[in-house]
Amino acid sequence: MLDPLLLDADSRDRLVARFGEGVHSWLAALPGLVELCCQRWHLELDEVVPRDGCYVFIGRQYDARGVVLKLTPDLAIAAAEALALRAWAGTAHVVDLIDAELDAGALLLEKIEPGTKVSDQPELPEASEMAELLTGLRCTPGDYAGQLPTLAQRMDAMFSLTGGLLSNPRVGPLVAPGLLAHGHQLARELAAAGGAPGLLHGDLHLSNILQGGPGRGLVAIDPGPRLGDLAWDAIEWTLGRATSTAEIHDRAGQLCALVPALDRDRLWRWCQATAAAIAVLQLRRRPPDDTTRVLLQLAASTA
């Protein structure tokens, strides 16, 4: 059995930075919580993967089925994810929720095989593969108003985070003054203008899309569920690794021809509005490249 005490200091520090000093009591109780989950669900855990806002344990159930145990100190995060995953239970393109103990912030999920992250592959998935995933995410009958935050709230949090990164010497000198604020204003206008509203994954970047193998295709994991314009979930693939604005425009056209009710003009404007914020997040992690330059160029084209 994996010893949950063997958690690196950096991941603990990230949790404290996000949730405050009160998270120390949750961390102290984490080994006992892991043990209770293992007993309840008959788990054998082999690996721990710290993520932003949670810990992910990978292992087996009944010594056979591959599973992922996800634990977070924020019960609202667990409840929102469980709600969305249950809504998407009818599609093969979202990870299955096996069980949940929401009072403990615990989710038991299937392990996706082969599970390669799209972000780790040399090429982006074809537009047809991405269209299947986005179409699957739209199969969510039901009214979730009042149960989930809105896209506008998610958006404000993203721009607040990226604005705080402009003081980073690797980021600030490369981003024109006012570019983020202008993008934020455009995004607010788009969110207020509507579009096709629905249940969003909310965090569909390339690291949250896995290869599910033949017959299953792309599988989305780790949603940050929101209610809002469904075009939002198409942004990251449309902008990902792009080397020209013409390429971005072409991708938007391909995707909108395949996904029902996905509006090309709205997707293009969402890409313009968020390009600077996404570039800032990339610059925080790595030096500028062709993609970050194109993103900043796209953002500046509307300023």
When mean pLDDT is compared across 17-31, 59-73, 84-98, 170-184, the lowest value belongs to 17-31
pLDDT score, position 108: 98
Mean pLDDT of 107-130: 97
- Which amino acid is residue 113, in one-letter code? E
Task: Compute the mean pLDDT over every residue in the chain, rounded to the nearest whole number.
Answer: 92
Residue 85 phi, psi dihedral angles, 5° rounding: -65, -35
For 7, 77, 177, 216, the CA distances from 239, given in Å and listed in that order, are 34, 27, 22, 24
Q: What is the pLDDT of residue 258?
A: 98
Six-digit token string for 106: 């615990």
SS3 109: strand
141 band by pLDDT with thresholds 50, 70 and 90:
low
Per-residue confidence (pLDDT) for residue 167, from 0 to 100: 94
* Better-scored residue on pLDDT, 141 or 298: 298
Indicate whether 4 pLDDT > 60. Answer: no
- Average pLDDT estimate for 104-112: 97
**If you average pLDDT over residues 177-181, what whole number do you get?**
94
Flag the least confident range among 19-23, 171-175, 182-186.
Answer: 19-23
Instruction: Give the closest residue to 96 by CA, choosing from 232, 188, 201, 219.
Output: 219
209 forms beta bridges with 220
Question: What pLDDT score was predicted for residue 187?
Answer: 96
Alpha-carbon span 39 to 73, nearest angstrom = 20
Q: In terms of pLDDT, which residue wins out, 90 or 236? A: 236
Least confident of 1-5, 71-75, 97-101, 200-204: 1-5
User: How far is C-alpha 58 from the chain's CA centre?
Assistant: 19
Using 50, 70 and 90 to split pLDDT, how confident is the model at 12? confident
Q: What pLDDT is stored for residue 179 in this prediction?
A: 96
Give the C-alpha separation, 223 to 217, whole Å.
Answer: 18
- pLDDT of 10 > 80? The answer is no
Nearest to 97 by CA among 106, 83, 87, 108: 108
pLDDT band for position 160 (50/70/90)?
very high
Rounded Cα distance, 277 and 13, in Å: 24
Tokens at residue 103, please?
């009072």
The per-residue pLDDT for 287 is 94
At residue 288, what is the residue type? P
Tens digit of each residue's pLDDT (9 = 90 or more) over 14-66: 888 788 888 889 988 999 999 999 999 999 999 988 777 888 999 999 989 99
Kindly state the average pLDDT of the residues 111-116: 97
In this prediction the pTM is 0.94
